[in-house]
Amino acid sequence: MEEPLNEHNKCEHPPMHTVEHILNQTMVRMFGCPRSRNAHIERKKSKCDYILSQAPTDIEIADIEQRVNEVIARNLSVTIEFMTYQQASSLVDLSKLPDNVSETLRIVRVGDYDVCACIGAHVHNTSEIGTFKIISHTFDNGVWRVRFRLL
């Protein structure tokens, strides 16, 4: 059950925020890079930055889009659980969390595809997301910025 948003929670568009999780895991699996270190998630379009040694090729970009949409089409449940920092550290990368983070973390799972600590709003099932579309991308100084939307 999704908890109500408050001043401590992010307020993103749930379908777009959930697809960010799927995109992050797809990038980790395809390129072995860390999850996005900089993301701007909005209802109409969003962007994420990934640290890469070179820009993805057009074929790889099409593959990213296809893989993300295949995960969406699996109609995966998006679930939330709470666990200690210690328990979470064996499951997820906690390096983005602030030093003063709570001992209890909120962990979001997208089926068996992705798991991460997150305070944002999410859909209950990937069937609520729509179709993921990469609309543009740039590569500068080791950072690949991808802009995307949902149809």
Domains of the chain: 14-150 (3.30.980.10)
Distance CA 86, CA 104 (A): 9
Over residues 70-85, the pLDDT tens digits come to 999 999 999 999 999 8
Distance CA 58, CA 21 (A): 22
Distance CA 121, CA 18 (A): 8
Over residues 98-144, the pLDDT tens digits come to 788 888 999 999 999 999 999 889 999 999 999 999 999 999 999 99
The whole-chain average pLDDT of the chain stands at 90
DSSP state, 9? S
Q: What is the mean pLDDT of residues 63-67?
A: 98
Contact 23, 148 (CB under 8 A): yes
Distance CA 96, CA 37 (A): 8
